[in-house]
Structure 1
Amino acid sequence: MRVAVSINDWRGTVHRIWAYLASKKWRLFGVFLMTVVTTAVTIVGNRFNGIVVDTYIAKHNLRGLYIICLVLAGMYVVSSAFTYWQNYTMIDVAQDTSARIRHDIFAKLQRLPMRYFDTHDNGDVMSTLTNDVDNINTALMQTFVQLFTGIISVVGMLGAMIVLSPLLTVIVLLSTVMTYTFSRMAARVTQKAFTIQQSALGDLNSQIEESVSGKRAVQLFNHEQMSLDRFAQTNTQYTAAAYRAQLFSGAMGPFNNMTNNVAYLLITAAGAISIVSGRGGITVGVIFTFLIYLRNFTGPINNTLNLINTLQLSLASAERVFKVIDEEPERDLPDAEAITTTTGAVSFDHVSFAYEPGKEILHDVNIEAHPGDTVAIVGPTGAGKTTMMNLLTNLYPLQSGTVRLDGRDVTTIKRQNLRRLVTVVQQESHMFTASVADNIRNGSLDATDDEVHAAAEQAHADHFIRQLPNGYDTVLTEDAAGLSQGQRQLLSIARAFVTNAPVLVLDEATSPIDSNTELDVQHAMTELMRGKTSFVIAHRLSTIRRATTIVVIDGGRVVERGTHEELLAAKGFYYQLYESQFQGGTQSS
């Protein structure tokens, strides 16, 4: 489990949350005014209760009692209406604020570089976007009005108590100081505990996401028990973290109740002694009013202290959210150009690259592709083939060297334009939750239905699409789990057809397709690559025999280059790869 850190800057976090609330400041001001009104009604109503005891009940004045009860009923109805309006307003404010925070973090995720996702668990990212934002929303709905009401009530009730009885007010203040001191000490412990809890929740979500997405592998390799054991361990860690956080925060409620009960006892005793002795001007109505004031004075304080866990949980969540929002996004250079066309000339000039410092993946790679060339890149797994194509699309920053398109450094081209000029068909195709037609149309959002159908026909996908329940309108879910891997790949290839970019990258594009289907797709690929600069990454060497140039990569270095016939004649590394696949005249799969 990751080591969690405490909330580094809670003031800054609160300030940033307030920045989201600023657009609602007039509605919040209205909530503030309504809170003043409801607090004033409470203070006056409570005082009337004391007057009723001393003036009407003690003197058996039933007519006056009826009148004052009607007045109090009207005041309480107004107070209840204002309270409902406060809650309604805060629900609207909280939901709108959460929606904008959720939008901002999701928008940032769309712009973050691939390096961020290489170093962060998917489950943790999902937890930040869902659970952490929900915690902020809960805190806004539960605490904002209570904080407003609490501050005004405490100030108003304190003033009313001082006017009513300075002696009894001293007892209240002493109990309040005790409660505050204990809460401050407990807060230091609970703050760290809730941060650890959120971190453990991120770990738990990561494992759940991994287990669900890899369910097929879990069952095929009989790893159910191992997966369950891992989950049990992570679940135990989260449960322990949540237990500690709730245990520490839960100690505040009983302590607050104890101090409040002691205060009630002391006030009743002091008031009774004053009445019996005939000194101090205290009456039964005053004691009755004071006890109600005490409840309305300590209530907001206790509610706030009891909500410390929610506040700290929301602050820890907000800090995690803002940490993602503050991540540095992909940025084009200030002078980057918006290139819309290219001849397709590509060159890798002394390119070196490492995902991690000191662990170089590519070393001094030099490759040149002229417009219309087909360059095949082959080599053992982990040689750096796919990495080269990631650099062509500027997904990662280079350590040294330059990748050029039409003689321009790709880093000087706006990424949005660059990625419209280079189409990549990946080995593992990804389908979105949308119709088949829309998944193909992702290659070009303005493609017509006729263009989508034509692309599917070129990719030899039309026949199976029309057999789906709703044809092209069939909605794919869970990454098209109902389709075979080969069918998903055909849709990905159709997406490349509809894109029709000048530079094409086929990263093991035919590897998930069976041999019979591959023959049809090869004809389609030949048509797709016509007139384009194409890079073909392949383990099946039979698919790249007609390449203009074959580049052999091993250990991040170019070890051979030439045509298929030239490399076979040289009997070097490529020859050994080829022979290993065709021993006995049978292609290895």
Structure 2
Amino acid sequence: MQMHRRGPRNIHPEKVQLTNWRATLTRMWQYLAAFKGRLFLVFLFTIVTTAATIIGNRVNGIVIDQYISKNRLRALMLVCAGLIAMYLISSVFTYFQNSVIIKVAQRTSAQIRQDVFTNLQRLPMRYFDRHDNGDVMSRLTNDVDNINTALMETFVQLFTGIISVIGMGIAMLILSPLLTLIALLSTVATYFFSKGIAKLTQRAFMTQQQALGSLNTQIEESVSGKQLVQLFDHTEATMQTFDQVNATYTRAAFRAQALSSVIGPFNNMTNNIAYLLITAIGALSIIGGYGHITVGIIFTFLIYLRNFTGPINNVLNLINTLQLSLASAERVFELIDEPQEQDRPGAVALPQATGHVTFDHVSFAYDERPILKDVNLVANPGEVVALVGPTGAGKTTIMNLLTNLYPLKAGRVLLDGQDVTTIRRADLRRQVTVVQQESFLFTMSIRENIRLGRPDASDAEVVQAAQRAHADPFIRQLPDGYETILSENASQLSQGQRQLLSIARAFITEAPVLVLDEATASIDSQTEADVQAAMAALMRDKTSFVIAHRLSTIQSADQILVINDGRVIERGTHQQLLAAKGFYAQLYQSQFE
């Protein structure tokens, strides 16, 4: 049942918090652990490629000292041929390594996306009242895409980089402890600088993702409400609002990217200084005849150092991707961890209700402001109960509580004498059919949209439901008839036609309780006359609740409840309420005046 948001929408509805990167990484590993076998293959491939690099580079140094300087050209050719073969094998292993990682990243992202969407379908309505649709969509699309990008771009470098750093570090230490010490000093300086910047970038990227969610919300509302924007000449104001939200996102993105981009240049500077020191010290050692350092050793060491710092440099240069993915992962996991709508322990089944509905001293509030105050009503099977009153009085809220969409503040709602909170939600909601004022149709065929009311309905029953709702004539005039695929929001149909399809969906459901929430408000007078006749047949032998502003449509109701300011202030039949000359009589007379 559709709930309208109450109160102003905030541009930033959620508080920005610092990313808990340790917990987030642990959570990511829980997903990756499902692919332990493939990750072990990557580990083996990485060992092979790292070993090939170490051996190849050392051989290059030996070639300089033993072959080039001594003009041993034939032996040099043989060594080069061997190195080419080894590098080709290493490239093949690297290809398979990357292929495995890509598959792992895609499947991990798919599983995360599935978990997000699954939990999203089971969240209580209160969650959607408190979160913008654009922000929710941003988590499901942009944030999951950020995780996928990080897994493909940085996971290989993180995973393989550890092995490469360890292997190259050992090789460097064996080659020259002195030169290794110089290399380590530059690495330590880079580490502490990056650690300090990371604290700032974590907060900056979380702010960026929050701002992106707000931007998506603004875009979604502008596109969905494009017609209203033009009809009310609200284009300039909409553009100004978008400019403000867009500017907020741009500032947040600039700050995050600017902070993260500092790390790369600093890292390159320290590495270049390390290269210079190593070359200078090595040259002095050779000239002075100190130690065992040769030109080939310096050449090999510099290549080792490049391969040692390379993975570190790549990760630091991709720090923005890492921070963005951490912020995105935290937002995604927050959505996955949102408590689902749960049946009470020991909830009972209700295969088929008779339709006896009771509200027993019910009070309710969406936030702090009370909506319903001590409401009592009894609807017997087959009765038609009309709910009337000013906009915002609480009429639709009563129907939301009947289907247990929201928790009560006080009182009980009973169906066939059973508290609805103790009935399994799936069973409860099969007992109630709702036709809302604003019809919602999915991007699927007309036949499947009608069949949503009862998935096991036959094609003949779908046609019969459409006929009873007076929708069959216009459906058959469409090029593909019942197989016509509706576009987004069924824009190729008029609002009245969309409503007729919603009514056809209600016909096919065969639930004992029927709720008509201003169901005919968007239909022209001639169509309404036809539908009212069909509704009379539909409501036969059902407990029907009719929410109406046009009082002419509910004169035959068995009882009418007048609701104002969350309280039932009058009840009775149409004639009884007119005779009482109270609030209902004033509403009725004002409409016909």
Question: What interval of TM-score do these two structures reach, taking the shorter chain for normalisation?
Answer: over 0.9
Aligned to 2:203: 192
Aligned to 1:420: 430
Q: Please, which moves more after superposition, 497-506 or 137-146?
A: 137-146
Aligned to 1:130: 141
Secondary structure of 2:516's partner?
strand
Aligned to 1:463: 473
Determine the C-alpha separation between the residues in 1 that align with 2:248 and 2:306. 39
Secondary structure of 2:569's partner?
strand
Q: Which of 460, 481, 484 is the aligned partner of 1:450? A: 460
Alignment of 1:311-326 (within 5 A): 311-326=322-337
Determine the C-alpha separation between the residues in 1 that align with 2:201 and 2:18. 11
Aligned to 1:9: 20
* 1:214 to 2:225 alignment: yes
Determine the C-alpha separation between the residues in 1 that align with 2:28 and 2:312. 22
Aligned to 2:280: 269
Aligned to 1:18: 29
Amino acid at match of 1:293: Y
* Deviation (angstroms), 1:9: 2.5
Secondary structure of 2:291's partner?
coil
**For the Cα contact (< 8 Å) 1:4–1:195, is it kept in 2?**
no
Determine the C-alpha separation between the residues in 1 that align with 2:456 and 2:71. 84
Aligned to 2:96: 85
Structure 1: give runs of 5+ residues left out of the alignment. 584-589
* Deviation (angstroms), 1:110: 0.5
Alignment of 1:50-89 (within 5 A): 50-89=61-100
Q: Which of 523, 546, 571 is the aligned partner of 1:561? A: 571
Secondary structure of 1:395's partner?
coil
* 1:341 to 2:357 alignment: no
The percent identity for this pair of structures is 69
Q: Report Cα offsets for 1:166-194 as digits up to 9, x if no partner.
A: 12111111111111111111111111111
Q: Report Cα offsets for 1:274-304 as digits up to 9, x if no partner.
A: 1111112111111111111111011111111
* Deviation (angstroms), 1:4: 4.5
Q: Please, which moves more after superposition, 524-533 or 310-319?
A: 310-319
Determine the C-alpha separation between the residues in 2 that align with 1:161 and 1:344. 81
**For the Cα contact (< 8 Å) 1:139–1:310, is it kept in 2?**
yes
Distance 1:4 1:41, change over 3 A: farther
Aligned to 1:490: 500
Determine the C-alpha separation between the residues in 2 that align with 1:526 and 1:129. 43
* 1:406 to 2:416 alignment: yes
**For the Cα contact (< 8 Å) 2:134–2:214, is it kept in 1?**
yes
Secondary structure of 1:475's partner?
coil
Q: Which of 397, 402, 414 is the aligned partner of 1:392? A: 402
Q: Which of 513, 517, 539 is the aligned partner of 2:523? A: 513
* 1:255 to 2:255 alignment: no
**For the Cα contact (< 8 Å) 1:7–1:315, is it kept in 2?**
no
* 1:539 to 2:545 alignment: no
Q: Which of 209, 215, 238 is the aligned partner of 1:204? A: 215
Amino acid at match of 1:448: S
Aligned to 2:290: 279
Determine the C-alpha separation between the residues in 2 that align with 1:192 and 1:4. 12
Provide TM-score, normalisation by structure 1.
0.98
* 1:475 to 2:485 alignment: yes
Determine the C-alpha separation between the residues in 1 that align with 2:575 and 2:501. 33
Q: Which of 108, 112, 120 is the aligned partner of 2:131? A: 120
**For the Cα contact (< 8 Å) 2:19–2:326, is it kept in 1?**
no
Aligned to 1:141: 152
Determine the C-alpha separation between the residues in 2 that align with 1:7 and 1:79. 41
Amino acid at match of 1:269: A
**For the Cα contact (< 8 Å) 2:16–2:210, is it kept in 1?**
no
* Deviation (angstroms), 1:468: 1.3
**For the Cα contact (< 8 Å) 2:556–2:574, is it kept in 1?**
yes
Determine the C-alpha separation between the residues in 1 that align with 2:15 and 2:208. 9
Amino acid at match of 1:220: L
Secondary structure of 2:154's partner?
helix
* 1:99 to 2:135 alignment: no
* Deviation (angstroms), 1:8: 4.6
* Deviation (angstroms), 1:153: 1.1
Tell me the C-alpha RMSD between the 2 structures. Answer: 0.9
Structure 2: give runs of 5+ residues left out of the alignment. 1-10
* 1:582 to 2:589 alignment: no
Runs of 4+ in structure 1 off by over 6 angstroms are: none
Amino acid at match of 1:46: N
Aligned to 1:587: none
**For the Cα contact (< 8 Å) 1:4–1:196, is it kept in 2?**
no
Secondary structure of 1:476's partner?
coil
Q: Report Cα offsets for 1:54-92 as digits up to 9, x if no partner.
A: 111111111111111111111111111111111100111
Determine the C-alpha separation between the residues in 2 that align with 1:419 and 1:70. 74
Determine the C-alpha separation between the residues in 2 that align with 1:350 and 1:522. 32
Determine the C-alpha separation between the residues in 1 that align with 2:450 and 2:321. 45
Amino acid at match of 2:309: T
**For the Cα contact (< 8 Å) 1:114–1:395, is it kept in 2?**
yes
Aligned to 1:373: 383
**For the Cα contact (< 8 Å) 2:463–2:472, is it kept in 1?**
yes
Secondary structure of 1:487's partner?
helix
Aligned to 2:560: 550
Q: Which of 299, 315, 318 is the aligned partner of 1:304? A: 315
* 1:499 to 2:499 alignment: no
Q: Report Cα offsets for 1:530-569 as digits up to 9, x if no partner.
A: 1111000001111111101011111111111111111111
Secondary structure of 2:209's partner?
helix
Aligned to 1:39: 50
**For the Cα contact (< 8 Å) 1:201–1:238, is it kept in 2?**
yes
Determine the C-alpha separation between the residues in 1 that align with 2:592 and 2:547. 18
Determine the C-alpha separation between the residues in 2 that align with 1:73 and 1:433. 57
Aligned to 1:180: 191
**For the Cα contact (< 8 Å) 1:175–1:259, is it kept in 2?**
yes
* Deviation (angstroms), 1:5: 2.9
Secondary structure of 1:372's partner?
coil
Q: Which of 17, 25, 41 is the aligned partner of 1:30? A: 41
Distance 1:85 1:4, change over 3 A: farther
